[in-house]
Amino acid sequence: MQLIQTSGAQKTEHTELSHVAGLDWDNVRIFLEVARASSFRTAAQRLRMTGPAVSERVKQLERQLEILLFTRHRDGVRLTDDGQKFLSVAVAMEEASKGFVRRRGSLAQPLEGEVRVAVTEGLGTFWVTPRLMEFIRAHPKILIDLHCSMQRPDDLVLRAQADLAVQIEEPVPRDLKVRRIGRMHVMPCASQDYIDRYGMPQTKDDVAAEHRLVMQYADQGRGAHYYNELFPGRVQTGFMTMRTDASTAMYAAVLNGLACGWLPTYYFALGTTVVPLDIGHVIPFDIWLSYHPDAAKLPRVRRMIDWTIDVFDPQQNPWFRDDFIHPREFTKASCSKQSPIDLAFGLAKTEP
């Protein structure tokens, strides 16, 4: 599977910018979907178009640019060299469009007041918080009350203690608006120190026979269910080093070599140094957004809802796509350039 650069794209000196003027944005948008899916058929499904219609729109773009954008292969399509160069321009156009929409809304009316956000602990700590800077800079008069917990966040929305919630257990709709905004993939991992000490497991049976385990047991995540599914009948004492209800404690345990355990793959986009274990059994968790329709009528809450959908956008963040993508396939351009999250957990090693 070919991963593509989705952020921070730069126009290259080879790109004829004169060809960009007057482009049909719909054609560019369709091109981006095909490039991200590496398939006309998949792109057509996502766009709710027919395959021939998608193909024709791409051909129109190719004629206007006077270049070939894709080559066809048995497993899908691949970008040509010219297609890869145009991709950076198309992504820049997309980012500029999003930025304009956000600025236009910001100029329409200043937003101020409090927005209460309830988020699953790991996503709130590791993913949402580091990305709030752009929102805060755009809306300095909004106070964000962020509640991170492994308790069900939608309960807080129902009790009017939060305006919106993000979680990995499907909310009970009741009076709420519910939307799936991405998918988190959790796979077995270990630190390099742990592997040096206990070896690299090759299968689930290796883990059961020769290794130690840490797992998260909380209202969300169904740790007990997955333990019984993975290791039926296995007594936890002597095998499981630690149980915890906190994502942060779970990660710290794996990072510091206490045991191996299942971690979200988006950690690798943030710079973690743990090692993915290719023993199968990747566990998917859909990411859900919920909010009360009345709260969404408040402009500041509506802005936070839109920002939340954008920050989990699977097209921009391939680790949140429906299909599992192995961390080794994450491109450097797709990953965070911020300091690795390991630094927050006391990993003191430095390169010589």
Confidence of residue 332 (pLDDT cuts 50, 70, 90): low
Confidence of residue 348 (pLDDT cuts 50, 70, 90): very low
**Residue 325 included in any domain:** no
Of the two residues 307 and 19, the one the predictor is more confident about is: 307
Select from 107, 142, 170 the last residue of a domain. 107
Considering the domain architecture, whether residues 192 and 271 belong to the same structural domain is answered as: yes
Q: In this prediction, what percent of the chain has a pLDDT beyond 70? A: 82
Select from 265, 283, 301 the last residue of a domain. 283
Considering the domain architecture, whether residues 173 and 203 belong to the same structural domain is answered as: no
**Residue 248 included in any domain:** yes
Positive or negative, the CA dihedral 37, 39, 45, 51 is: positive
The CATH number of residue 90's host domain is 1.10.10.10
Are 3 and 78 a contacting pair, CB within 8 Å? Answer: no
Considering the domain architecture, whether residues 167 and 188 belong to the same structural domain is answered as: no
The amino acid present at 120, given as its one-letter code, is: T
Residue-level pLDDT at 251: 93
Helix (H) or strand (E) holding 94: helix 81-108
Considering the domain architecture, whether residues 246 and 199 belong to the same structural domain is answered as: yes
Considering the domain architecture, whether residues 24 and 95 belong to the same structural domain is answered as: yes
The CATH number of residue 148's host domain is 3.40.190.10
pLDDT tens per residue, range 113-136: 999 999 999 999 999 999 999 899
Considering the domain architecture, whether residues 278 and 193 belong to the same structural domain is answered as: yes
Domain count, the chain: 3
Confidence of residue 223 (pLDDT cuts 50, 70, 90): low
Residues 189-196, mean pLDDT to the nearest whole number: 95
Considering the domain architecture, whether residues 279 and 289 belong to the same structural domain is answered as: no
Could you tell me which residues come within 8 angstroms of residue 171 by beta carbon, excluding any fewer than 6 positions away? 152, 154, 157, 165, 178, 288, 290
Nearest partner of 220 among 117, 285, 151, 119, judged by Cα: 151
Cβ neighbours of 228 (radius 10 Å): 12
The amino acid present at 286, given as its one-letter code, is: D
Structure tokens at 135: 């929102």
pLDDT tens per residue, range 35-75: 999 999 998 888 888 989 999 999 999 998 999 999 999 88
Rounded CA separation 290/22 (Å): 39
Are 170 and 295 a contacting pair, CB within 8 Å? Answer: no
**Residue 38 included in any domain:** yes
Q: What range defines the domain where residue 192 resides?
A: 184-283
Structure tokens at 261: 């355990």
Are 118 and 165 a contacting pair, CB within 8 Å? Answer: yes
Considering the domain architecture, whether residues 122 and 146 belong to the same structural domain is answered as: yes
Rounded CA separation 139/109 (Å): 11
Considering the domain architecture, whether residues 177 and 289 belong to the same structural domain is answered as: yes
Are 318 and 6 a contacting pair, CB within 8 Å? Answer: yes
Considering the domain architecture, whether residues 79 and 228 belong to the same structural domain is answered as: no
CA 132-136-141 angle, to 5 degrees, is: 145
Rounded CA separation 119/164 (Å): 9
**Residue 55 included in any domain:** yes
Confidence of residue 16 (pLDDT cuts 50, 70, 90): very low
Considering the domain architecture, whether residues 43 and 56 belong to the same structural domain is answered as: yes
Residue-level pLDDT at 192: 95
**Residue 142 included in any domain:** yes
Rounded CA separation 314/322 (Å): 8
Select from 55, 72, 107 the last residue of a domain. 107
Considering the domain architecture, whether residues 176 and 236 belong to the same structural domain is answered as: no
Confidence of residue 163 (pLDDT cuts 50, 70, 90): very high
**Residue 336 included in any domain:** no
Phi-psi region of 216 (alpha: psi -120 to 50; beta: other; left: phi over 0): beta
**Residue 144 included in any domain:** yes
The pTM (predicted TM-score) of the whole model is 0.65
**Residue 9 included in any domain:** no
